Structure 1
């Protein structure tokens, strides 16, 4: 008898089996997530400073964001499947957000930016923060997947393989980027005089580092939970299929 085998890609029917393997691997994933969260916080804040103060960097990141966004659009159009339609639409929105960030960077002008109130800057920096965080996080994940595959062989399971994991990382990435951009815009880091920029940046980083560590740790542990749950779900379906055969 034929049996439809579906990947574990929804939160419905979710259950956690707290095993020693989950605790050990989940703890390692949480620590890695915390490190990545802190790195993301540092890079996002430094990038926002450079984009705000340097015309060269604003042009550079503007072109980079537009190219990355268009590449994502192209890849999504090249790999169209009915099963991934919902996920594809969400990634299309993020790709559009990255292109919008690139356009904003191209038109960044220091005198115009400084004339805005902190509350007016917050939405702009939130959009930029989300785009930088999204691009950075998934670049790091691709790099880690490549390194793990290179070291352990082609049979290695990737860090993110189910839709539930993608949603989890997407939600935490967007949250981190939006929070970092919100704090950066609210603290007026880019409005400080040149000799106070470092102090203002350190103040923003002191606010963002703990948040990045906490959110990254939760995302890392949650990703491992979904990873093991997906594996157990597949094994269960294969077992049921064998029984019916």
Structure 2
């Protein structure tokens, strides 16, 4: 069954709810990621806090990579782990005194990396909660996200979304010329003009394709709930 046929045969109301839910997740991630990027840029305490979080998450992923079978899986997850560790190191060295002396083009890759790590962390946290609630509320115990294809979809979308948020943040120089809270809010609103449509579109498309994968898995009769972070799923990626 292709995606087009799936859309034609699906319940319109359910499909609408799926797209809206995905769009809302993209919207929430837009605000969360940009707020975290602002805090990391302007305040040393949040920068150190998220630095420790990223380092812990990255090191944890490195230890999990050792148990993977197949070099492709190891290379993929090790790349993610190293990116997150690099983001943690960046958080410790971020200082507004030198950060805002950089040009927007120089800041774009830095914020792109931070955006990927932040979006990756927030996406899996939000979706694991949604996954658990969905499994508890569903009589059949069917989860919204479980298969390797769905987890890979979340990985890809979180990377694209986080990198996009970081690029917009760095390109628009958010925080550089903000001397008051009102000025900072205006700069964030200006950036959200670009980030919100980007996040909503990606979130809606990802939710639609995820539902297609979920329904296909149900028809194959191989769908059972388990948390996003399990060794079995890691081996499937």
Normalising by structure 1, report the TM-score: 0.81
Aligned counterpart, 1:106: 92
Aligned counterpart, 1:7: none
**Aligned equivalent of 1:47, options 28, 33, 36:** 36
1:25 lines up with 2:20 in the alignment: no
Aligned counterpart, 1:74: 63
TM-superposed deviation, 1:211: 0.9
1:119 lines up with 2:119 in the alignment: no
Superposition pairs of residues 105-184 of structure 1, within 5 angstroms: 105-152=91-138, 156-184=141-169
Gaps of 5+ in 2: 223-237
Q: Which stretch of structure 1 is more off in the superposition, 67-76 or 217-226?
A: 67-76
Q: Cα–Cα, structure 1 residues 81 and 157, in superposed 2: closer, same or farther, change >3 Å?
A: farther
- Alpha-carbon displacement from aligned partner over 1:83-140 (angstroms, at most 9, x marks no partner): xx64453222112211110010011111110111110000000000011111110111
Q: Is the 8 A contact 2:134 2:144 kept in 1?
A: no
1:211 lines up with 2:198 in the alignment: yes
> What is the rounded CA distance, in whole Å, between the counterparts of 2:210 and 2:72 in structure 1?
20
- Alpha-carbon displacement from aligned partner over 1:69-94 (angstroms, at most 9, x marks no partner): 1222333435x345xx6445322211
Q: Is the 8 A contact 1:26 1:220 kept in 2?
A: no
Q: Which stretch of structure 1 is more off in the superposition, 97-106 or 192-201?
A: 192-201
Q: Work out which structure has the larger RCO, using CA pairs closer than 8 Å and 6 or more positions apart in sequence.
A: 1
* Bigger CA radius of gyration: 1
> What is the rounded CA distance, in whole Å, between the counterparts of 2:20 and 2:61 in structure 1?
29
Q: Is the 8 A contact 1:26 1:225 kept in 2?
A: no
Q: Is the 8 A contact 1:22 1:224 kept in 2?
A: no
> What is the rounded CA distance, in whole Å, between the counterparts of 1:77 and 1:167 in structure 2?
19
TM-superposed deviation, 1:157: 2.5
Q: State how many pairs are aligned.
A: 218
Normalising by structure 2, report the TM-score: 0.84
Q: Cα–Cα, structure 1 residues 95 and 21, in superposed 2: closer, same or farther, change >3 Å?
A: same
Partner SS state of residue 94, structure 2:
coil
Q: Cα–Cα, structure 1 residues 175 and 100, in superposed 2: closer, same or farther, change >3 Å?
A: same
TM-superposed deviation, 1:46: 0.6
Gaps of 5+ in 1: 1-13, 236-245
